[in-house]
């Protein structure tokens, strides 16, 4: 770190799937927390002038009552899964390094990312990859899904990347910002859009294995603080995100 002495450091490395964190919580906690600590300590010792972005998660908020939606940054943190617990710790490690060492740390709590090139293990690529395989005949036209009634706040990864750059350039050190669309979209609506784009007739079946021990009925945030600090707002509609993702998996299939 002292040799490179970067101007900016975007720390996104992590075990990032909520579902996997239930299967192996120790691995998620160890990887995410110690990884973040190592990054911050390397900056503190070797490049103390570096601007650092710590990427947390909306999962830090956990189960938020509907009367407190959309979620603001001062919402109490009640993580309901091991991944969320790991991200709370990473978030607070970033704050601690700012308070104790004046490291230029800005933290974000992004809600759901979507878009082309996202790997399996997340809702949209899981569905899109199945449908792409169905269209080639490699998979029977039966889409296996989990809880379709859950509603999530989705932001295209290209808008997310722009937000990360802007918040590190213009955000206030020590502060935390939600990154989101401020719109709640039901998983059922994503499935309907994907099926509407497909070239085959698809049957939908609920797979109990895809359900989680805890699941938030609705997660939607406010990006007002981020917009005030940086001027950012999302510009890519979810329909484009879904279409681009399906197109990507059609090539990958």
Question: At a CB cut-off of 8 Å and minimum separation 6, what does 178 contact?
Answer: 58, 71, 72, 73, 108, 109, 110, 111, 221, 222, 223, 225, 226
* DSSP per position, 97-129: HHHHH--EEEEEEE-EEE-TTPPSSSHHHHHHH
Rounded mean pLDDT, 133-150:
93
Is pLDDT of 216 > 80? no
**pLDDT averaged over every residue in the chain:** 95
pLDDT value of residue 147: 87
Res. 8 pLDDT band, cuts 50 70 90: very high
DSSP code at position 181: -
pLDDT value of residue 214: 58
All structural domains of the chain: 8-252 (3.40.50.720)
Is pLDDT of 208 > 80? no
Digit-coded pLDDT (tens) for 45-62: 999 999 999 999 999 999
Task: Give dist(CA 2, CA 21) in Å, integer.
Answer: 33
Under the phi-then-psi rule, with left for phi > 0, alpha for psi from -120 to 50, and beta for the rest, what region is 40?
Answer: alpha
Residues paired with 54 in a beta bridge: 11, 107
Residue 65 backbone dihedrals phi, psi, to 5 degrees: -60, 145
Digit-coded pLDDT (tens) for 182-197: 999 999 999 999 999 9
Task: Give dist(CA 17, CA 24) in Å, integer.
Answer: 11
pLDDT value of residue 16: 87
Digit-coded pLDDT (tens) for 168-185: 999 999 999 999 999 999
Rounded mean pLDDT, 65-84:
96
pLDDT value of residue 20: 87
Most confident of 9-23, 112-126, 155-169: 155-169
pLDDT value of residue 77: 98
Rounded to an integer, what is the distance from CA 183 to the centroid of its chain?
15
Is pLDDT of 4 > 90? yes
Length of the chain counted residue by residue = 253
């Amino acid at each position: 770190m002292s040799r490179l002495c970067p101007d900016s450091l975007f720390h996104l490395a992590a075990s990032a799937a909520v579902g996997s964190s239930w299967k192996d919580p120790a691995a998620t906690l160890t990887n995410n927390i110690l990884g973040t600590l190592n990054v911050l300590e390397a900056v503190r010792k070797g490049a103390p002038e570096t601007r650092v972005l710590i990427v947390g998660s909306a999962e830090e908020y956990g189960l938020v009552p509907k009367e407190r939606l959309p979620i603001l940054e001062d919402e109490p943190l009640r993580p309901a899964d091991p991944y969320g617990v790991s991200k709370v710790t990473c978030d607070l490690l970033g704050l601690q390094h700012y308070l104790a060492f004046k490291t230029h740390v800005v933290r974000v709590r992004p809600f759901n990312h979507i878009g082309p090139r996202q790997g399996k293990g997340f809702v949209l690529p899981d569905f899109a990859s199945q449908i792409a395989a169905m269209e080639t005949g490699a998979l029977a036209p039966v889409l296996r899904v989990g809880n379709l009634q859950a509603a999530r706040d989705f932001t295209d990864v290209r808008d997310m990347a722009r937000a990360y750059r802007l918040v590190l350039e213009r955000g206030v050190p020590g502060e935390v910002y939600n990154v989101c669309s401020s719109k709640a979209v039901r998983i059922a609506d994503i499935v309907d859009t994907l099926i509407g784009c497909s070239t085959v007739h698809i049957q939908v079946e609920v797979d109990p294995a895809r359900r989680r021990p805890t699941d938030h009925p609705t997660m939607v945030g406010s990006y007002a603080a981020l917009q005030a600090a940086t001027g950012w707002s999302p510009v890519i509609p979810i329909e484009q995100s879904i279409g681009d993702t399906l197109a990507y998996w059609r090539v990958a299939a």
